[in-house]
């Protein structure tokens, strides 16, 4: 059984770094960041992406032909979509605080963090046993949710996982669990093993 997944977070769309909630086109700076990843990612890589504009544009900038995977879609923030973090925090401070602290909270009327974690775990568990190496270009929230599952940590840790844009997360299925590595996608940023956790495939969130 051989599975090696490289997760890349598309630039933008992370409430902890970017104030706009919901999908948007990549900025020129983000396009340049994505283009730099060409140095280490082969155009022939097996690849999937979230269905958002920013993930599609990131794949194009890298030069990857990536199929759209609905299960990698961003966290649904319901009526907050298109608003800034500052606007939401000012209009609904209690709801915003609940969103950041309670994985079951849905003050926006959309999807809870725990629901996203379960969806992401289902996707991770659906990866074919002999996939080999594949790249997934997706959203910061989805990368966090995948890490929650792969590292078997509580869903309440979701917002405490830093996911910088285009910093790779390497998942390797070995010995009945996932090894997790973090690194860059440029020659100047070699892979660095930061965490390793053995956990059953699709263990789910707690």
Residue 205 falls inside a structural domain: no
Range of the domain at 192: 3-196
CATH value at residue 17: 3.40.50.1240
Residue 204 falls inside a structural domain: no
Global pTM? 0.87
Residue 22 falls inside a structural domain: yes
- Helix and strand numbers, DSSP H then E, in the chain: 6, 7
Q: Which of 9-18, 116-125, 170-179 has the highest mean pLDDT?
A: 116-125
Residue 203 falls inside a structural domain: no
Residue 149 falls inside a structural domain: yes
Q: What is the pLDDT of residues 140-195, one digit of tens each?
A: 999 999 999 999 999 999 999 999 998 889 999 987 889 999 876 644 444 443 33
Residue 201 falls inside a structural domain: no
Residue 202 falls inside a structural domain: no
| Inter-residue contact 170 to 183 (CB < 8 Å) | yes
* Cα dihedral 41, 44, 47, 51 in deg (nearest 10): 100
Q: List the Cα angle 128/172/60 in 5-degree steps.
A: 75
Q: What pLDDT was estimated at residue 184?
A: 67
* Tally of domains within the chain: 1
Provide the percentage of residues in the chain whose pLDDT is more than 90: 63
Average pLDDT over residues 65-93: 96
| Inter-residue contact 152 to 199 (CB < 8 Å) | yes
Residue 117 falls inside a structural domain: yes
């Amino acid at each position: 059984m051989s599975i090696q997944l490289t997760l890349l977070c598309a630039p933008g769309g992370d409430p902890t770094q970017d104030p706009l909630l919901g999908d948007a086109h990549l900025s020129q700076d983000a396009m340049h960041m994505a283009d730099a990843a060409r140095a280490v990612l082969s155009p022939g890589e097996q690849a999937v992406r979230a269905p958002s504009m920013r993930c599609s544009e990131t794949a194009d900038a890298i030069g990857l032909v990536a199929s759209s995977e609905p299960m990698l879609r961003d966290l649904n923030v319901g009526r907050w979509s298109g608003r800034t973090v500052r606007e939401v925090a000012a209009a609904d401070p209690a709801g915003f605080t609940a969103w950041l602290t309670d994985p079951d909270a849905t003050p926006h009327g959309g999807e809870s963090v725990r629901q996203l974690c379960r969806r992401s775990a289902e996707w991770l568990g659906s990866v074919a046993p002999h996939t080999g190496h594949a790249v997934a270009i997706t959203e910061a929230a989805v990368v966090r949710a995948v890490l929650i599952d792969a590292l078997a940590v509580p869903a309440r840790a979701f917002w405490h996982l830093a996911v910088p844009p285009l910093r790779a997360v390497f998942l390797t299925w070995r010995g009945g669990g996932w090894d997790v590595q973090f690194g860059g996608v440029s020659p100047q940023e070699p892979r660095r093993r930061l965490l390793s956790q053995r956990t059953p495939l699709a263990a789910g969130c707690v």
